[in-house]
A and B are shown apart, each in its own frame.
Chain A
Amino acid sequence: MAETKNMILNMGPQHPSTHGVLRLILELDGETVVKLTPDIGYLHRGVEKLGENLTYHQFIPLTDREDYIASLSNNLAYCMTVEKLLGMEVPPRAMVARVLLTELQRIASHLFWLGTFGIDIGAMSLFFYTFREREQILDMFEACAGARLTVNYFRIGGIAKDLPEGFEKQVRDFIKIFPERMKNDYERIFQDNKIVRIRTEGVGIISKEDAIDLGLSGPLLRACGVPWDIRKSNPYCGYETYDFDIATGKVGDVFDRYLVRMEEMRQSLKIIQQALDRLPGGPFLADDPKVCLPSKQKVMTEMESLIHHFKIVSEGFEPPVGEVYHSIETPRGELGFYIVSDGSNKPYRLRFRPPSFVNLESLAKMAEGKLIGDLVAIIGALDPVMGEVDR
Protein backbone atom coordinates (compact mmCIF):
# COMPACT_ATOMS: atom_id res chain seq x y z
CA MET A 1 0.00 0.00 0.00
CA ALA A 2 1.35 3.42 -0.84
CA GLU A 3 2.18 5.69 2.06
CA THR A 4 1.38 9.35 1.90
CA LYS A 5 4.00 11.82 2.96
CA ASN A 6 3.57 15.47 3.60
CA MET A 7 4.95 17.69 0.88
CA ILE A 8 7.88 19.92 1.79
CA LEU A 9 7.72 23.21 -0.03
CA ASN A 10 10.43 25.80 0.11
CA MET A 11 9.23 29.38 0.02
CA GLY A 12 12.73 30.40 -0.82
CA PRO A 13 14.78 33.47 -0.11
CA GLN A 14 14.05 34.81 -3.57
CA HIS A 15 10.39 35.33 -3.76
CA PRO A 16 7.88 37.62 -5.39
CA SER A 17 6.45 38.85 -2.17
CA THR A 18 8.16 37.85 1.03
CA HIS A 19 9.51 40.93 2.63
CA GLY A 20 13.15 40.60 1.84
CA VAL A 21 15.20 37.44 2.04
CA LEU A 22 13.11 35.26 4.28
CA ARG A 23 13.17 31.56 3.72
CA LEU A 24 10.33 29.42 5.02
CA ILE A 25 10.37 25.64 4.97
CA LEU A 26 6.77 24.54 4.86
CA GLU A 27 5.46 21.07 5.42
CA LEU A 28 2.16 20.84 3.65
CA ASP A 29 -0.65 18.37 3.89
CA GLY A 30 -2.69 19.31 0.85
CA GLU A 31 -3.44 22.95 1.46
CA THR A 32 -2.82 23.00 5.18
CA VAL A 33 0.45 24.05 6.72
CA VAL A 34 1.49 21.39 9.18
CA LYS A 35 4.86 22.79 10.20
CA LEU A 36 6.63 26.01 9.45
CA THR A 37 10.31 26.67 10.03
CA PRO A 38 11.78 30.06 9.25
CA ASP A 39 15.38 30.11 8.08
CA ILE A 40 17.02 33.51 8.44
CA GLY A 41 20.50 34.90 8.11
CA TYR A 42 20.62 35.72 4.44
CA LEU A 43 21.16 39.40 5.13
CA HIS A 44 23.58 39.13 8.03
CA ARG A 45 26.25 41.78 7.78
CA GLY A 46 27.85 41.63 11.20
CA VAL A 47 26.78 45.08 12.30
CA GLU A 48 27.18 44.41 15.99
CA LYS A 49 30.76 43.26 15.53
CA LEU A 50 31.52 46.23 13.30
CA GLY A 51 30.28 48.47 16.08
CA GLU A 52 33.02 47.25 18.36
CA ASN A 53 35.65 48.68 16.01
CA LEU A 54 34.08 52.05 15.31
CA THR A 55 33.73 55.03 17.56
CA TYR A 56 30.32 56.02 18.83
CA HIS A 57 30.01 58.81 16.29
CA GLN A 58 31.03 56.63 13.35
CA PHE A 59 28.38 54.04 14.09
CA ILE A 60 25.41 56.28 13.34
CA PRO A 61 25.23 55.64 9.55
CA LEU A 62 25.31 51.90 10.18
CA THR A 63 22.19 52.08 12.28
CA ASP A 64 20.35 53.56 9.28
CA ARG A 65 20.76 50.38 7.37
CA GLU A 66 19.26 47.98 9.85
CA ASP A 67 15.58 48.78 9.59
CA TYR A 68 15.94 50.50 6.29
CA ILE A 69 12.29 51.43 5.96
CA ALA A 70 12.27 53.53 9.12
CA SER A 71 15.86 54.67 9.41
CA LEU A 72 15.31 57.77 11.52
CA SER A 73 13.85 55.61 14.28
CA ASN A 74 17.05 53.60 14.44
CA ASN A 75 19.10 56.79 14.59
CA LEU A 76 16.95 58.04 17.41
CA ALA A 77 17.25 54.85 19.44
CA TYR A 78 21.02 54.79 19.15
CA CYS A 79 21.56 58.46 19.88
CA MET A 80 19.27 58.36 22.89
CA THR A 81 21.03 55.30 24.28
CA VAL A 82 24.43 56.96 24.06
CA GLU A 83 23.02 60.15 25.56
CA LYS A 84 21.64 58.09 28.43
CA LEU A 85 25.08 56.56 28.92
CA LEU A 86 26.67 59.99 29.01
CA GLY A 87 23.88 61.58 31.03
CA MET A 88 23.52 64.33 28.45
CA GLU A 89 20.63 66.77 28.01
CA VAL A 90 19.35 67.60 24.56
CA PRO A 91 18.21 71.17 23.83
CA PRO A 92 14.41 71.68 23.43
CA ARG A 93 14.53 72.58 19.76
CA ALA A 94 16.31 69.34 18.96
CA MET A 95 13.82 67.34 21.04
CA VAL A 96 10.80 68.75 19.23
CA ALA A 97 12.47 68.35 15.84
CA ARG A 98 13.32 64.75 16.69
CA VAL A 99 9.70 63.99 17.60
CA LEU A 100 8.46 65.69 14.44
CA LEU A 101 10.76 63.79 12.14
CA THR A 102 10.28 60.45 13.88
CA GLU A 103 6.53 60.69 13.56
CA LEU A 104 6.89 61.59 9.88
CA GLN A 105 9.05 58.50 9.53
CA ARG A 106 6.37 56.42 11.20
CA ILE A 107 3.81 57.58 8.66
CA ALA A 108 6.23 56.87 5.79
CA SER A 109 6.93 53.37 7.09
CA HIS A 110 3.24 52.57 7.51
CA LEU A 111 2.53 53.85 4.02
CA PHE A 112 5.17 51.51 2.67
CA TRP A 113 3.62 48.67 4.61
CA LEU A 114 0.15 49.48 3.30
CA GLY A 115 1.31 49.48 -0.30
CA THR A 116 3.10 46.17 -0.06
CA PHE A 117 0.28 44.61 1.93
CA GLY A 118 -2.09 45.55 -0.86
CA ILE A 119 0.15 43.87 -3.40
CA ASP A 120 0.37 40.72 -1.29
CA ILE A 121 -3.39 40.50 -1.14
CA GLY A 122 -3.74 41.35 -4.82
CA ALA A 123 -4.97 44.95 -4.89
CA MET A 124 -2.10 46.34 -6.87
CA SER A 125 -3.28 49.88 -7.37
CA LEU A 126 -3.08 50.79 -3.70
CA PHE A 127 0.73 50.59 -3.86
CA PHE A 128 0.97 53.52 -6.25
CA TYR A 129 -1.31 55.76 -4.28
CA THR A 130 0.49 55.24 -0.95
CA PHE A 131 3.87 55.78 -2.52
CA ARG A 132 2.76 59.11 -3.88
CA GLU A 133 2.32 60.35 -0.29
CA ARG A 134 5.50 58.67 0.83
CA GLU A 135 7.39 60.59 -1.84
CA GLN A 136 6.27 63.82 -0.26
CA ILE A 137 7.62 62.76 3.11
CA LEU A 138 10.90 61.60 1.62
CA ASP A 139 11.24 64.96 -0.12
CA MET A 140 11.01 66.58 3.30
CA PHE A 141 13.78 64.35 4.62
CA GLU A 142 15.90 65.17 1.65
CA ALA A 143 15.49 68.87 2.26
CA CYS A 144 16.68 68.41 5.85
CA ALA A 145 19.45 65.89 5.58
CA GLY A 146 20.31 65.22 1.99
CA ALA A 147 19.23 61.61 1.70
CA ARG A 148 15.86 59.96 1.44
CA LEU A 149 16.17 56.45 2.74
CA THR A 150 19.29 56.28 4.92
CA VAL A 151 18.75 59.65 6.44
CA ASN A 152 21.51 59.88 9.06
CA TYR A 153 20.22 63.14 10.51
CA PHE A 154 20.40 62.71 14.29
CA ARG A 155 23.63 63.08 16.18
CA ILE A 156 24.62 62.42 19.76
CA GLY A 157 23.34 65.55 21.44
CA GLY A 158 20.80 66.77 18.91
CA ILE A 159 20.42 66.96 15.17
CA ALA A 160 23.11 67.42 12.53
CA LYS A 161 22.00 70.64 10.86
CA ASP A 162 19.20 73.02 11.55
CA LEU A 163 15.83 72.53 9.85
CA PRO A 164 15.94 74.24 6.47
CA GLU A 165 13.81 77.17 5.34
CA GLY A 166 10.54 76.15 3.82
CA PHE A 167 10.38 73.02 5.92
CA GLU A 168 7.44 74.23 7.92
CA LYS A 169 5.47 74.99 4.78
CA GLN A 170 6.17 71.53 3.39
CA VAL A 171 4.92 69.89 6.56
CA ARG A 172 1.80 72.02 6.68
CA ASP A 173 0.99 71.19 3.07
CA PHE A 174 1.33 67.54 3.88
CA ILE A 175 -0.91 67.77 6.95
CA LYS A 176 -3.56 69.43 4.85
CA ILE A 177 -3.82 66.79 2.15
CA PHE A 178 -3.14 63.61 4.07
CA PRO A 179 -6.41 62.93 5.98
CA GLU A 180 -8.50 63.34 2.88
CA ARG A 181 -6.20 61.08 0.88
CA MET A 182 -6.50 58.45 3.59
CA LYS A 183 -10.24 58.52 3.51
CA ASN A 184 -10.81 58.83 -0.20
CA ASP A 185 -8.02 56.79 -1.67
CA TYR A 186 -6.97 54.13 0.78
CA GLU A 187 -10.08 53.35 2.72
CA ARG A 188 -12.55 53.42 -0.12
CA ILE A 189 -10.56 51.03 -2.21
CA PHE A 190 -9.53 48.71 0.58
CA GLN A 191 -11.39 48.81 3.84
CA ASP A 192 -15.00 48.18 2.89
CA ASN A 193 -14.20 45.73 0.13
CA LYS A 194 -15.85 42.38 0.79
CA ILE A 195 -12.96 40.42 -0.68
CA VAL A 196 -10.46 42.12 1.62
CA ARG A 197 -12.67 41.43 4.59
CA ILE A 198 -13.01 37.73 3.99
CA ARG A 199 -9.32 37.51 3.24
CA THR A 200 -8.22 39.19 6.45
CA GLU A 201 -10.89 38.75 9.11
CA GLY A 202 -10.35 35.80 11.40
CA VAL A 203 -6.96 35.08 9.85
CA GLY A 204 -3.80 34.75 11.90
CA ILE A 205 -5.40 35.23 15.29
CA ILE A 206 -3.16 35.25 18.30
CA SER A 207 -4.47 35.56 21.82
CA LYS A 208 -3.46 38.17 24.34
CA GLU A 209 -1.67 35.71 26.60
CA ASP A 210 0.27 34.15 23.72
CA ALA A 211 1.28 37.56 22.48
CA ILE A 212 2.67 38.60 25.81
CA ASP A 213 4.39 35.23 26.30
CA LEU A 214 6.12 35.43 22.93
CA GLY A 215 7.31 38.95 23.58
CA LEU A 216 5.51 40.67 20.71
CA SER A 217 5.52 44.41 20.54
CA GLY A 218 4.24 47.14 18.35
CA PRO A 219 1.07 46.99 16.28
CA LEU A 220 0.82 43.21 16.62
CA LEU A 221 0.53 43.44 20.38
CA ARG A 222 -1.86 46.35 20.25
CA ALA A 223 -4.11 44.54 17.78
CA CYS A 224 -4.66 41.81 20.38
CA GLY A 225 -6.07 44.36 22.75
CA VAL A 226 -3.08 45.11 24.98
CA PRO A 227 -2.66 48.90 25.22
CA TRP A 228 1.13 48.88 25.48
CA ASP A 229 3.02 51.68 23.80
CA ILE A 230 6.48 52.68 24.96
CA ARG A 231 5.72 56.28 24.15
CA LYS A 232 3.12 56.19 26.93
CA SER A 233 4.57 53.72 29.41
CA ASN A 234 8.22 54.83 29.42
CA PRO A 235 8.10 58.20 27.69
CA TYR A 236 11.19 59.63 26.10
CA CYS A 237 12.02 62.78 24.19
CA GLY A 238 9.14 64.70 25.66
CA TYR A 239 6.35 62.40 24.51
CA GLU A 240 4.51 62.81 27.81
CA THR A 241 3.71 66.38 26.85
CA TYR A 242 1.94 65.48 23.60
CA ASP A 243 -1.71 64.57 23.42
CA PHE A 244 -2.41 61.35 21.49
CA ASP A 245 -4.21 58.01 21.93
CA ILE A 246 -3.03 54.45 21.64
CA ALA A 247 -4.71 52.49 18.85
CA THR A 248 -5.84 49.05 19.98
CA GLY A 249 -7.69 46.27 18.28
CA LYS A 250 -10.06 43.68 19.62
CA VAL A 251 -9.51 40.28 18.09
CA GLY A 252 -5.90 40.12 17.01
CA ASP A 253 -6.40 39.09 13.41
CA VAL A 254 -4.92 40.58 10.26
CA PHE A 255 -7.74 43.07 9.79
CA ASP A 256 -7.21 44.44 13.28
CA ARG A 257 -3.52 44.95 12.55
CA TYR A 258 -4.49 46.91 9.47
CA LEU A 259 -6.90 49.06 11.48
CA VAL A 260 -4.31 49.66 14.21
CA ARG A 261 -1.74 50.89 11.71
CA MET A 262 -4.22 53.19 9.98
CA GLU A 263 -5.18 54.66 13.33
CA GLU A 264 -1.52 55.09 14.22
CA MET A 265 -1.03 57.14 11.10
CA ARG A 266 -3.81 59.48 12.17
CA GLN A 267 -2.40 59.81 15.68
CA SER A 268 1.04 60.54 14.27
CA LEU A 269 -0.47 63.31 12.21
CA LYS A 270 -1.90 64.77 15.42
CA ILE A 271 1.50 64.69 17.09
CA ILE A 272 3.14 66.31 14.07
CA GLN A 273 0.63 69.12 14.20
CA GLN A 274 1.35 69.75 17.86
CA ALA A 275 5.11 69.54 17.40
CA LEU A 276 5.06 71.97 14.53
CA ASP A 277 3.08 74.47 16.51
CA ARG A 278 5.43 74.44 19.44
CA LEU A 279 8.79 74.32 17.63
CA PRO A 280 11.02 76.63 19.70
CA GLY A 281 14.07 78.49 18.58
CA GLY A 282 17.51 78.05 20.01
CA PRO A 283 20.44 75.70 19.50
CA PHE A 284 19.93 72.38 17.79
CA LEU A 285 22.92 70.57 19.23
CA ALA A 286 23.97 70.28 22.86
CA ASP A 287 26.84 72.38 24.02
CA ASP A 288 29.14 69.71 25.36
CA PRO A 289 32.55 70.40 23.81
CA LYS A 290 33.81 66.88 24.31
CA VAL A 291 31.00 65.16 22.46
CA CYS A 292 29.29 67.43 19.96
CA LEU A 293 30.99 68.95 16.96
CA PRO A 294 31.20 72.75 17.14
CA SER A 295 29.79 74.81 14.29
CA LYS A 296 31.92 75.51 11.24
CA GLN A 297 32.10 79.22 11.95
CA LYS A 298 33.64 78.57 15.34
CA VAL A 299 36.05 76.00 13.96
CA MET A 300 37.38 78.41 11.39
CA THR A 301 37.81 81.29 13.81
CA GLU A 302 38.44 79.99 17.36
CA MET A 303 41.47 77.92 18.24
CA GLU A 304 39.80 76.06 21.08
CA SER A 305 36.92 74.90 18.91
CA LEU A 306 39.41 73.70 16.34
CA ILE A 307 41.16 71.57 18.92
CA HIS A 308 37.87 70.09 20.16
CA HIS A 309 36.85 69.43 16.56
CA PHE A 310 40.06 67.56 15.88
CA LYS A 311 39.76 65.52 19.03
CA ILE A 312 36.13 64.52 18.51
CA VAL A 313 36.60 63.63 14.86
CA SER A 314 39.73 61.60 15.21
CA GLU A 315 39.35 59.91 18.54
CA GLY A 316 35.80 60.41 19.67
CA PHE A 317 34.84 60.71 23.29
CA GLU A 318 35.20 58.39 26.23
CA PRO A 319 31.98 57.67 28.07
CA PRO A 320 32.01 56.44 31.65
CA VAL A 321 32.26 52.72 32.34
CA GLY A 322 28.89 51.06 32.55
CA GLU A 323 26.06 49.50 30.65
CA VAL A 324 22.81 50.97 29.50
CA TYR A 325 19.64 49.82 27.73
CA HIS A 326 17.15 52.13 26.11
CA SER A 327 14.23 51.32 23.89
CA ILE A 328 11.84 53.31 21.74
CA GLU A 329 8.66 52.58 19.86
CA THR A 330 9.38 52.20 16.17
CA PRO A 331 6.74 51.45 13.54
CA ARG A 332 7.50 47.76 14.00
CA GLY A 333 7.64 47.51 17.76
CA GLU A 334 10.12 47.94 20.54
CA LEU A 335 13.61 48.67 19.31
CA GLY A 336 16.24 48.58 21.98
CA PHE A 337 19.96 49.26 22.17
CA TYR A 338 22.17 47.75 24.84
CA ILE A 339 25.64 49.24 25.11
CA VAL A 340 28.43 48.11 27.40
CA SER A 341 31.19 50.62 27.70
CA ASP A 342 34.61 49.93 29.16
CA GLY A 343 35.74 53.53 29.23
CA SER A 344 37.45 53.63 25.83
CA ASN A 345 36.27 55.48 22.78
CA LYS A 346 34.81 52.35 21.19
CA PRO A 347 31.99 50.33 22.73
CA TYR A 348 32.84 47.01 24.27
CA ARG A 349 29.56 45.42 23.21
CA LEU A 350 26.75 46.87 21.18
CA ARG A 351 23.55 44.89 20.98
CA PHE A 352 20.60 45.77 18.85
CA ARG A 353 17.27 44.30 19.91
CA PRO A 354 15.24 44.17 16.71
CA PRO A 355 11.45 44.06 16.95
CA SER A 356 10.97 42.06 13.76
CA PHE A 357 13.19 39.24 14.98
CA VAL A 358 11.06 38.68 18.04
CA ASN A 359 7.84 39.14 16.12
CA LEU A 360 8.91 36.59 13.51
CA GLU A 361 8.99 33.88 16.15
CA SER A 362 5.24 34.10 16.43
CA LEU A 363 4.78 33.22 12.77
CA ALA A 364 4.80 29.50 13.50
CA LYS A 365 2.09 29.88 16.07
CA MET A 366 -0.08 32.00 13.83
CA ALA A 367 0.21 29.97 10.68
CA GLU A 368 0.38 26.33 11.66
CA GLY A 369 -2.81 24.49 10.98
CA LYS A 370 -4.00 27.14 8.58
CA LEU A 371 -4.19 27.26 4.83
CA ILE A 372 -1.29 28.25 2.65
CA GLY A 373 -3.29 31.05 1.11
CA ASP A 374 -3.47 32.73 4.49
CA LEU A 375 0.26 32.60 4.95
CA VAL A 376 0.94 35.48 2.64
CA ALA A 377 -1.57 37.72 4.38
CA ILE A 378 -0.13 36.81 7.78
CA ILE A 379 3.44 37.58 6.76
CA GLY A 380 2.27 40.80 5.22
CA ALA A 381 0.57 41.92 8.39
CA LEU A 382 3.60 40.92 10.47
CA ASP A 383 5.68 43.45 8.53
CA PRO A 384 9.16 42.00 9.01
CA VAL A 385 12.15 43.87 7.66
CA MET A 386 14.96 41.42 7.11
CA GLY A 387 17.61 44.06 7.55
CA GLU A 388 16.87 44.19 11.23
CA VAL A 389 16.10 40.50 11.66
CA ASP A 390 19.50 39.48 10.37
CA ARG A 391 21.45 42.64 11.20
Chain B
Amino acid sequence: MIKALAEGLSVTLKHMFKKRNTVQYPEQRREYSPRFRGKHKLNRNEDGSEKCVGCYLCAVVCPSQCISLQAGENEQGKRYAEWYKIQMGRCLFCGFCVEACPVEALDMTGFYEMSCYGRDGLVYEKKDLLVPEIDSFVKTKI
Protein backbone atom coordinates (compact mmCIF):
# COMPACT_ATOMS: atom_id res chain seq x y z
CA MET B 1 0.00 0.00 0.00
CA ILE B 2 2.84 2.35 0.82
CA LYS B 3 4.34 1.40 -2.51
CA ALA B 4 1.19 2.51 -4.32
CA LEU B 5 1.19 5.84 -2.49
CA ALA B 6 4.85 6.38 -3.28
CA GLU B 7 4.26 5.56 -6.94
CA GLY B 8 1.52 8.17 -7.11
CA LEU B 9 3.81 10.75 -5.55
CA SER B 10 6.55 9.92 -8.02
CA VAL B 11 4.23 10.56 -10.98
CA THR B 12 3.44 14.09 -9.85
CA LEU B 13 7.06 14.79 -9.04
CA LYS B 14 8.18 13.56 -12.45
CA HIS B 15 5.77 15.91 -14.17
CA MET B 16 7.22 18.85 -12.33
CA PHE B 17 10.28 18.71 -14.53
CA LYS B 18 8.58 18.17 -17.87
CA LYS B 19 8.05 20.85 -20.45
CA ARG B 20 4.88 22.84 -19.88
CA ASN B 21 2.66 23.17 -22.89
CA THR B 22 0.83 26.31 -21.84
CA VAL B 23 0.40 28.90 -24.57
CA GLN B 24 0.98 32.36 -23.08
CA TYR B 25 -1.91 34.12 -24.78
CA PRO B 26 -1.96 36.96 -25.96
CA GLU B 27 1.78 37.08 -26.48
CA GLN B 28 1.79 33.69 -28.19
CA ARG B 29 -0.95 32.31 -30.35
CA ARG B 30 -1.75 28.78 -31.37
CA GLU B 31 -1.30 27.61 -34.92
CA TYR B 32 -4.59 26.54 -36.40
CA SER B 33 -5.07 24.21 -39.35
CA PRO B 34 -5.89 25.63 -42.79
CA ARG B 35 -9.42 24.23 -42.52
CA PHE B 36 -10.23 26.11 -39.31
CA ARG B 37 -13.73 27.58 -39.33
CA GLY B 38 -13.40 31.16 -38.09
CA LYS B 39 -14.59 34.47 -39.43
CA HIS B 40 -15.93 34.54 -42.96
CA LYS B 41 -14.41 36.42 -45.86
CA LEU B 42 -15.64 37.32 -49.32
CA ASN B 43 -13.12 36.76 -52.08
CA ARG B 44 -12.32 38.82 -55.15
CA ASN B 45 -11.46 37.89 -58.72
CA GLU B 46 -8.09 38.41 -60.36
CA ASP B 47 -9.16 41.75 -61.73
CA GLY B 48 -10.32 43.04 -58.37
CA SER B 49 -14.07 42.67 -58.77
CA GLU B 50 -16.09 40.75 -56.16
CA LYS B 51 -16.69 37.10 -56.79
CA CYS B 52 -20.09 36.95 -55.11
CA VAL B 53 -22.95 36.73 -57.63
CA GLY B 54 -25.80 37.15 -55.16
CA CYS B 55 -27.33 33.71 -55.67
CA TYR B 56 -28.76 33.50 -52.11
CA LEU B 57 -27.60 29.89 -51.62
CA CYS B 58 -25.63 30.66 -48.48
CA ALA B 59 -28.61 32.43 -46.93
CA VAL B 60 -30.89 29.50 -47.72
CA VAL B 61 -28.69 26.75 -46.34
CA CYS B 62 -27.76 28.45 -43.08
CA PRO B 63 -29.35 26.48 -40.19
CA SER B 64 -29.67 29.59 -38.02
CA GLN B 65 -30.64 31.97 -40.85
CA CYS B 66 -27.98 34.49 -40.05
CA ILE B 67 -26.95 35.50 -43.58
CA SER B 68 -28.96 38.08 -45.48
CA LEU B 69 -28.15 39.77 -48.74
CA GLN B 70 -29.73 41.63 -51.63
CA ALA B 71 -28.80 40.89 -55.21
CA GLY B 72 -28.52 43.62 -57.79
CA GLU B 73 -26.86 44.46 -61.11
CA ASN B 74 -23.74 46.54 -61.36
CA GLU B 75 -22.83 48.90 -64.22
CA GLN B 76 -21.50 46.13 -66.45
CA GLY B 77 -24.79 44.30 -66.07
CA LYS B 78 -23.21 41.56 -63.97
CA ARG B 79 -25.10 40.27 -60.97
CA TYR B 80 -23.58 41.02 -57.57
CA ALA B 81 -24.61 41.50 -53.98
CA GLU B 82 -25.64 45.06 -53.14
CA TRP B 83 -25.40 44.51 -49.45
CA TYR B 84 -24.36 41.42 -47.55
CA LYS B 85 -24.82 40.90 -43.82
CA ILE B 86 -23.85 38.09 -41.48
CA GLN B 87 -25.04 38.14 -37.88
CA MET B 88 -22.10 36.60 -36.10
CA GLY B 89 -24.05 36.36 -32.87
CA ARG B 90 -26.31 33.72 -34.40
CA CYS B 91 -23.72 31.99 -36.51
CA LEU B 92 -22.95 28.36 -35.65
CA PHE B 93 -19.65 28.35 -37.56
CA CYS B 94 -20.74 25.13 -39.21
CA GLY B 95 -19.31 25.91 -42.64
CA PHE B 96 -22.41 25.03 -44.66
CA CYS B 97 -22.42 28.43 -46.37
CA VAL B 98 -18.90 27.81 -47.62
CA GLU B 99 -19.92 24.41 -48.95
CA ALA B 100 -22.98 25.90 -50.59
CA CYS B 101 -21.30 28.73 -52.48
CA PRO B 102 -21.01 27.67 -56.14
CA VAL B 103 -18.35 30.22 -57.11
CA GLU B 104 -16.12 29.94 -54.02
CA ALA B 105 -16.76 33.51 -53.05
CA LEU B 106 -17.25 32.74 -49.36
CA ASP B 107 -14.48 31.32 -47.23
CA MET B 108 -13.71 30.90 -43.58
CA THR B 109 -10.46 32.24 -42.18
CA GLY B 110 -8.56 31.43 -39.02
CA PHE B 111 -9.57 34.67 -37.26
CA TYR B 112 -11.54 34.18 -34.05
CA GLU B 113 -11.12 37.24 -31.87
CA MET B 114 -14.47 38.85 -32.55
CA SER B 115 -15.50 40.21 -29.17
CA CYS B 116 -17.17 43.61 -28.99
CA TYR B 117 -19.02 45.82 -26.56
CA GLY B 118 -22.53 45.70 -27.92
CA ARG B 119 -24.75 43.34 -29.89
CA ASP B 120 -24.74 45.57 -32.95
CA GLY B 121 -20.98 45.11 -33.13
CA LEU B 122 -21.64 41.51 -34.05
CA VAL B 123 -23.41 42.24 -37.31
CA TYR B 124 -20.78 42.15 -40.04
CA GLU B 125 -21.45 44.03 -43.26
CA LYS B 126 -19.74 43.58 -46.60
CA LYS B 127 -17.08 46.10 -45.70
CA ASP B 128 -16.01 43.92 -42.76
CA LEU B 129 -16.04 40.71 -44.74
CA LEU B 130 -14.63 41.61 -48.12
CA VAL B 131 -10.91 41.09 -48.47
CA PRO B 132 -9.32 44.52 -48.75
CA GLU B 133 -6.75 44.08 -51.49
CA ILE B 134 -6.76 42.19 -54.75
CA ASP B 135 -6.81 38.61 -53.58
CA SER B 136 -5.14 35.92 -55.60
CA PHE B 137 -7.32 33.52 -57.48
CA VAL B 138 -8.56 30.90 -55.05
CA LYS B 139 -7.96 27.40 -56.32
CA THR B 140 -10.46 24.69 -55.68
CA LYS B 141 -10.25 23.48 -52.12
CA ILE B 142 -10.88 19.80 -51.51
Contact = CB atoms under 8 A, between A and B. Distances in A.
A314 B100 CA distance: 9
Contact of A142 (B5, B32, B57, B142): B32
Contacts of B92: 61, 150
Interface in B73-117: 92-96, 99-100, 102-104, 108
Interface stretch (A10-18, A294-302, A325-333): A294-302
Contacts of A54: 63
A306 B33 contact: no
Interface stretch (A187-195, A205-213, A228-236): A187-195
Contacts of B142: 161-162, 295-296
B63 A313 contact: no
A146 B7 contact: no
Q: Which of A146, A193, A194, A309 has the most CB of B within 10 A?
A: A146
Contacts of B62: 58
A135 B22 CA distance: 12
A8 interface: no
B18 to A, nearest CB: 10
B12 A189 contact: yes
Interface in A6-52: none
Contact of A58 (B32, B36, B61, B102): B61
Interface string A151-194: 01000000011101000000000000000000011001110111
Given A185-B11, A296-B104, A58 B35 contact: no
Chain B interface, >50% SS class: loop
A280 to B, nearest CB: 18
A297 B96 contact: no
Interface string A135-147: 1000100111111
Contacts of B103: 300
B35 A144 contact: yes
B119 interface: no
Contacts of A295: 142
Chain A interface, >50% SS class: helix
Nearest to A194: B1
Contacts of A147: 36-37, 93
A144 B93 CA distance: 15
Contacts of B1: 194
B108 A146 contact: yes
A142 B33 contact: yes
A194 B4 contact: yes
A59 B7 contact: no
Contact of B61 (A129, A144, A314): A314
Contact of A189 (B11, B33, B37, B96): B11
A143 B37 CA distance: 11
Q: A-B pairs with the 9 shortest C-beta distances?
A: A61-B94, A192-B4, A146-B37, A146-B35, A58-B63, A143-B33, A189-B11, A313-B100, A189-B8
Interface of A: 54, 57-62, 125, 129, 132, 135, 139, 142-147, 150, 152, 160-162, 164, 184-185, 188-190, 192-194, 293, 295-297, 299-300, 306, 309-310, 313-314
15 contacts: A57-B61, A57-B96, A58-B61, A58-B63, A62-B63, A139-B33, A160-B99, A185-B11, A188-B8, A189-B11, A189-B12, A297-B140, A306-B102, A310-B102, A314-B61
